Amino acid sequence: MSNFSYTASSSFSSSMSSSNGQTRSYSQITHSDPSGTKVHRTIQEPGEARRVERVEYDANGRRIGSEDGRGRIEDVTDKEDAEREKTEEEKKEKKEKKYLANMEDEYAKREGGA
């Protein structure tokens, strides 16, 4: 007989406040399981349309995606990969510039010494 264990938790919080006839509301649902955590928020400020936000974290707590109230989805892993590629590209460019500068110096030495 095999043993299987699975742990998950969910929470819900909500608040509403009113001032000068203006109402502000906020709610949040959080669900966590071994694969990570998902957060769903609903926010409505006075005079504004309701906004829905979703954020997702992996099991290590790294943000892996989000969606704001305008329907835009952002995959944070894509940003991290792009940043890493940009850094690697910058390192390559620096090495290439240094190599070209060294080659120019070498040619200048040869021309001056001939």
Q: Show Cβ contacts of residue 51 under 8 Å, excluding neighbours closer than 6 positions.
A: 42, 43, 44, 68, 69
User: Is residue 64 located within the same domain as residue 87?
Assistant: no
Structural element, H or E, at residue 60? none
Q: Give the model's pLDDT for residue 40.
A: 92
Phi-psi sector, 79: left (phi>0), alpha (psi -120 to 50), beta:
alpha
Query: How many domains, in total, are found in the chain?
Result: 2
* Token pair belonging to 50: 């309701």
Q: In terms of domains, do 54 and 90 share one?
A: no
Structure tokens at 114: 């001939």
Residue 81 and residue 96 in one domain: yes
Same domain membership, residue 97 and residue 49: no
- pTM of the complete model beyond 0.75: no
Domain that holds residue 37: 1-74
pLDDT tens string, the chain, 114 residues long: the values are 667 777 888 888 888 988 888 889 999 999 999 989 999 999 988 888 888 898 898 888 888 877 775 555 555 566 666 677 777 788 888 888 888 888 888 878 888 754
pLDDT digits (tens, 9 = 90+) for 36-46: 999 999 998 88
Assess whether 48 and 100 both reside in one domain: no
Same domain flag for 84 and 111: yes
Residue type, 36: G
